[in-house]
Amino acid sequence: MYPCQAARDLDGDIGIVIFGAIVDRIPTCDRVVAVDISTGEALWDKPRPGRNKDHFENDASAQPVGVSHDRVVLRSGDVLTAWSLRDGAFEWEHDLAAEGCSLQTAVVGPSTVAEGVTCGPRDKKDTARARTIRSVNVADGRVRWTSSLPGGVPIARIEIAEPVTVSLPGPGGDPGPLVVFDTNGRPGPRLQTSQDFGALAPDKRNSLQLAPAVFGWKNTVVVLVTEGGWNMPRGIAAIDADTGRVRWHRSRPEGGMTFVLGVDDQGVLALAADEPRGLTRYALADGAPRPAGTLLEGGSLASYNYAAARLAGNNLMLVTGRRADPGVVTMWKPQG
């Protein structure tokens, strides 16, 4: 069995990984497995519901699985299904097609799912259909709020569900402005990717496939930053969800690539992707840094593919899919 993707978040000591057999050199990605990350043991294993390979990508906007509020939320086409995280029991199903809508994208957050939805009668160019962002309660599958995209923009990429943050399209296919929605679904001001300190880079999640490029925690959105003409992320920026503006920006003093592994009340946990692979915690309020140990001693980040680094409690990381060792889920704990 080959690990295809891990859910972005954890609930206690339980994480979710999608596995599949290799058929004609392609993983089927058709099994959902709950893993106790404190022991590495599989708790339960079920077929992925109504799997549609066209919607499987190692990408947040096509995220087929998420963990939220003691639920596993899975996507297949226009349908969202929620299972109990503890035993895989069915909880609810949300069929957008039954409402005359198409589910363009879905991203799972700590207690909600953010949906990009297109509804209404189809025309030849599909231009008359209404395009909206919706926030869905994970506990029962009910819609909390619905909001139109700002300025009538037809397409947007949902980066995170809490707070709901979308990337608007930019010229030539490049990332455009970021928009953060408040808890009632009201969009904030457009935040341009070009800033005095560099460029917000929500598209850099695949640089090493180690972690997403955008994270959210309560009223804070954290985004990777490219600087000085470098195409790889060299810093991070925190955005205040209440104002939609940059709260602080930090770069590694010694340079080198930086990736965010998680955000919680203790701050932003960032990894130096090159030697010595140090971990740093940045305070949410002002970005003040403090050392947080090291990770991947004696290993090489380049040897990992389809990787998903996740916070478990304070500091345990889960990484999936080592290229030289397919079929193995590997876990590290920071040193120091």
* High-pLDDT (> 90) share of the chain, %: 19
* Mean of all residue pLDDT scores within the chain: 76
* Token digits of residue 197: 């300190």
Q: How confident is the model at residue 102 (pLDDT cuts 50, 70, 90)?
A: confident
- Residue 136 belongs to some domain of the structure: no
Domain assignment present for 250: yes
Answer for the pair 179, 244: CB distance below 8 angstroms, yes or no.
yes
Which CATH number belongs to the domain containing residue 222 in this structure? 2.40.10.480
Place of tokens 């962002």: 133
How many structural domains are present in the chain? 1
Whether 82 is covered by a domain: the verdict is: no
Could you list the residue range(s) of the whole structural domain that residue 289 is in?
Answer: 195-336
**Strand partners for 259:** 271
On whether residue 23 sits in a domain, the answer given is no
pLDDT for 335: 56
Per-residue pLDDT band for 306 (boundaries 50, 70, 90) equals: very low
Q: What is the pLDDT of residues 190-243, one digit of tens each?
A: 888 889 988 887 765 544 444 567 888 888 999 988 887 677 788 899 999 888
Residue 16 lies in a domain: no
In a domain, 33, yes or no: no
* Residue 263 forms part of a structural domain: yes
Contact assessment for residue 273 and residue 254, using Cβ atoms and an 8 Å cutoff: no
Q: Is residue 55 part of a domain?
A: no
pTM: 0.77
What's the DSSP call for residue 59? S
